[in-house]
Amino acid sequence: MKLDIKDCSLRRQQSNQQHENISKKLTENENKLRSIYKDCMDVIFRPFFIGGKERAILIYIEGLANVEEIDDNVLSPLMQIKEGEFHTNISILIEKKITVSNVKKIKIFSECIQEISLGNPVILVDKSETGVALGLSKWEKRSVSEPSAEAVVRGPREAFVEAISVNTTLIRRKIRSPMLKMQSMEIGRYTKTKVVITYIEGLVDQTLIEEAKNRLSRIDIDGIMETGMIEEFIEDNPYSPFPQVLTTERPDVVAASLLEGRLAILVDGSPFSIVVPTTFYSLLQSSEDYYSRFLIGTATRWLRYFFLVISLTLPSLYVAIITFHQEMVPTSLLISMAASREQVPFPALVEALIMEITFEALREAGLRLPKQVGSAVSIVGAIVIGESAVAAGIVSAPMVIVVALTGIASFTIARYPAAIAIRMLRFPVILLAGTLGLLGIMLALITIIIHLCTMRSFGVPYLSPMAPMKFREMKDVLIRAPWWELDSRPHFTGDYNKYRQAPGLKPDPTKGDEK
């Protein structure tokens, strides 16, 4: 307890120091900063003289600041100032002499510490109550590459990276209007993670912006490492397995969502962004649906919906039919299935659970192993284990086929968080099927549908526009209507800009070049 009290008093003392004004005495300022950055070997304190006359000190973090720019554009010009060039206001003199575009005046220690933590060097001068922060941050970052989690055949091949400045630039390249707004805030007591809320003014509802700000501002935590941590703090129903925000690493998906009247949340250090509000059907749509022809996009969407049902219910249907409803199977097929299960010592329920757990373990192992061997291990492991299990009489061949089809069906779900939710729900559905048969499956499906109907994402019904029914917006749910029919934006909440394109854009071959 004594140690806790000591730590709290030390933390309170440091907090008070950070909110003090910068003193005119350079020695006092330097001592305070050195006490704050005690045992920080990467924080550099570089004392120098401006024109050989005024004492000054430059503070920066090694690895976060551009040392070459500091030497060429800051230290060299200031140290070479001649006697007749001195100005009574030293801050104005610094701004005149250094060749740095981004210069900010600071007057309190908290601002000084914030700029240093961002990688911006800070100059403090003796007999001056104002410091100068220089926008010379530079650190290593990953180059823009293809998205790994949302690959497409047709569409842009660029993905977000961990640097938030690069991510905002990628969005700016897509939407070049000044109506694209970006508001930043910091979350995390120690990490001071930069979080950016971006939206298009005039398209998004103002209440949605305020709601997002309120939910983010109430987060009080030591640090934020990834968007998944933000997601758990801002979702409407935290106990639901279904994702209530759309996470994406594609700038084109974010740009398209902003044009629909949504807003996006970017987190520094994460290559994934959050889009809110979202609906259940948005999680089943791929960006490629809108880049290919509308007939192909519609057929692909129907295929995705079908395999969603297969992924959730196929193992449970097999267990229910084999256990309780053998009369539903044709006689010849039933005889074949009975022969294959003759040597299996377990009931169908246990058999299904064994194979499903084994398949999920193989899939997880394939993800965690190095990329070069992960896919090979998962595929070879599935083949070897499946054949060996059938040969040993632990499971039947039809069960291996059912589990394999279920796994393939789960891969067709466009969004990984939605696929994980379906995989989790598959196990309780199997248990109900093994105890109550088809009645158990119906109870499970009814419970899931009721749960989805009660959910909301930032106030928007999760099953919108199906529940409540909005016929005008159905053209982008069950089907993917042609672009010249998608003339209106989705209506979420509040006021919105309804039309997103001019009327009469349908191609008409009779209206050619008229002479």
- 153, containing H or E segment: none
DSSP lists the bridge partners of residue 168 as: none
pLDDT computed for residue 512 by the predictor: 57
pLDDT computed for residue 102 by the predictor: 84
pLDDT computed for residue 3 by the predictor: 43
Q: Residue 68: how many CB atoms within 10 A of its CB?
A: 10
C-alpha to C-alpha distance for 116 and 216, rounded to whole angstroms: 24
Token pair of 374 as six digits:
């992960």
> Which class for 89: exposed (0-12), middle (13-18), buried (19 or more C-beta within 10 A)?
exposed
DSSP lists the bridge partners of residue 134 as: 103
Degrees (nearest 5) of the Cα angle 233, 144, 60? 75
Which residue stretches of 60-205 are H helix? 67-70, 76-79, 90-97, 109-117, 164-174
User: What is the Rg, in whole angstroms, of the alpha carbon atoms belonging to the chain?
Assistant: 30
Could you give the dihedral angle defined by the CA atoms of residues 356, 361, 367 and 373, in that order, rounded to the nearest 10 degrees?
-110
Of 429, 396, 417, give the one whose Cα is nearest residue 311.
429
pLDDT computed for residue 87 by the predictor: 61
End-to-end CA distance of the chain: 92
Per the CB < 8 A criterion, the answer to whether 168 and 196 are in contact is yes
pLDDT computed for residue 378 by the predictor: 64
Residue that has been written with the tokens 């394109």 in this structure: 501
Per the CB < 8 A criterion, the answer to whether 462 and 452 are in contact is yes
Token pair of 446 as six digits:
């009814």
DSSP lists the bridge partners of residue 184 as: 196
- Size of the chain in residues: 515
Residues with pLDDT less than 50, the chain: 1-3, 6, 10, 515
Per the CB < 8 A criterion, the answer to whether 343 and 399 are in contact is no
Residue that has been written with the tokens 């660029």 in this structure: 158
Peptide bond into 468 cis (omega under 30): yes
pLDDT computed for residue 469 by the predictor: 83
Q: How many CA atoms lie within 13 A of 509 on its CB side?
A: 0
- 194, containing H or E segment: strand 193-200
pLDDT computed for residue 239 by the predictor: 92
CA 42 to chain centre: 31
Q: What residues have CB less than 8 Å from 411, skipping those under 6 apart?
A: 419
